[in-house]
Amino acid sequence: QVQLVESGGGLVQPGGSLRPSCAASGFIFSVYAMNWYRQSPGKERELVADISSAGRSTNYAESVKGRFTISRDNAKNTVYLQMNSLKPEDTGVYYCNARISWNNRGYDYWGQGTQVTVSS
């Protein structure tokens, strides 16, 4: 079965860094693009970054551009989100996401999330 497991969140001061990771299993990881989303209470889940299957193409939300870097290691079935210069506005639960096609239908798979709190 498809499984995505995030880890590496935590509490950090403004200006600090974190590097959450997402370990994937149950599908051919190297075939699919991967995404990082985040969600705060009362707000819609927001796409933070995405990366193509081979890691050659990345995209970022405007709010994190220049501060966050998404990467992946297909040999380890893992995607990472390097977060630098963190701001309180970055606080939220960060989710790993994969959109996978089965029988010509697309399905969203989500990890359990990892909490990121940026506070002084």
Residues in the chain: 120
Q: How far apart are CA 72 and CA 70, in angstroms?
A: 7
- What are the backbone angles phi and psi of residue 77, rounded to the nearest 5°? 50, 45
Q: How far apart are CA 39 and CA 60, in angstroms?
A: 15
Q: How far apart are CA 40 and CA 76, in angstroms?
A: 29
Tracing tokens 């989100």 back to the chain, one arrives at 81
Is a pLDDT exceeding 90 seen at residue 113?
yes
- The proportion of the chain whose per-residue pLDDT surpasses 70, expressed as a percent, equals 100
Query: 83 or 42, which is more confident?
Result: 83
Output the average pLDDT for the chain. 96
Q: Report the pLDDT averaged over residues 93-108.
A: 93
Q: How far apart are CA 94 and CA 89, in angstroms?
A: 13
> How confident is the model at residue 101, as a pLDDT?
86
Find all residues with CB under 8 Å of 104, minimum gap 6, and list them.
none
pLDDT in tens, 27-51: 999 999 999 999 998 899 999 999 9
> How confident is the model at residue 51, as a pLDDT?
98
> How confident is the model at residue 50, as a pLDDT?
98
